[in-house]
Amino acid sequence: MAKLHFSLDGNSLGEYALDKERITIGRRPANDIHIDNLAVSGDHAVITTIGNDSFLEDLGSTNGTLVNNKSIKKHVLYHGDIIEFGKYQLKYENKLQEKTPAKQDGFENTVVMRPTKLDVATSEVKTEVAEKPAEASEENAMPNIIEVPLDSTENTQKIGHLQVLNGTNSGRELSLNKALTTLGKPGEQVAVITKRPHGYFIAHVEGEKHPLVNGQSVGVQAYELSDHDVIDMAGIKMEFYLA
């Protein structure tokens, strides 16, 4: 289980196990990690953990959040990362990542696939690098997708894919060959699909409504996807299949 080592000016203040899906950080006493300091916003940041993967999101704090001395908005955490809130630090420890040979830079340098119409003649999907997903302008636009690169040493297995079944993007496909793919529209409905050695899992992250799989809500726990499952995100239906 991953955990956080909490310290101030090099002095240990304890540790926190990432033993639940969502860990909140901030000055308000109700937060899971309470930091009583004016440099920290009331609701400063949140860490979401799906399986063995955790990612950090700054919640629009006044003074921002640093990871390894770099300001971030969203960041996939790796073993040894140092999260800073003013003079306070949280060191992320995940023993399962110790043998990972290379680190990726998190969400800021990931590929964001913006909603576009599918060119059936060429089947070409346009991609671009961006810090934030674009907001869909069409009612049936495909949900924004953020991909986190997969370690090149990952063992071979069948790769998951999503194919859009309805709307203006019907027929569009995405290969789930990354460690983590985020689907949805921030502030409305967000879910993540994680690629693990024994399969693919979808989990709800944000929004009142949870994703549907074959017409049933995935609930609060990560849900293992099966070949040809149909995912419904805000009315956009996508078929998951392995190939």
pLDDT, average across residues 206-233: 89
- Of the two residues 138 and 158, the one the predictor is more confident about is 158
pLDDT at 115 over 90: no
Q: What is the DSSP letter of 125?
A: P
Q: What is the pLDDT of residue 182?
A: 81
pLDDT at 116 over 90: no
In angstroms, what CA-CA distances link 180 with 36, 107, 113?
A: 33, 10, 14
Q: What is the pLDDT of residue 198?
A: 82
Q: What is the pLDDT of residue 218?
A: 87
Nearest to 54 by CA among 9, 89, 28, 90: 90
CB atoms within 10 A of CB 50: 21
Give the residue carrying structure tokens 């997708």: 145
Q: What is the pLDDT of residue 32?
A: 94
Q: What is the pLDDT of residue 101?
A: 42
* pTM (predicted TM-score): 0.50
pLDDT-based confidence at residue 129 (cuts at 50, 70, 90): very low
pLDDT-based confidence at residue 208 (cuts at 50, 70, 90): confident
Q: What is the pLDDT of residue 106?
A: 37
Q: What is the pLDDT of residue 67?
A: 93
Nearest to 92 by CA among 76, 108, 72, 74: 76
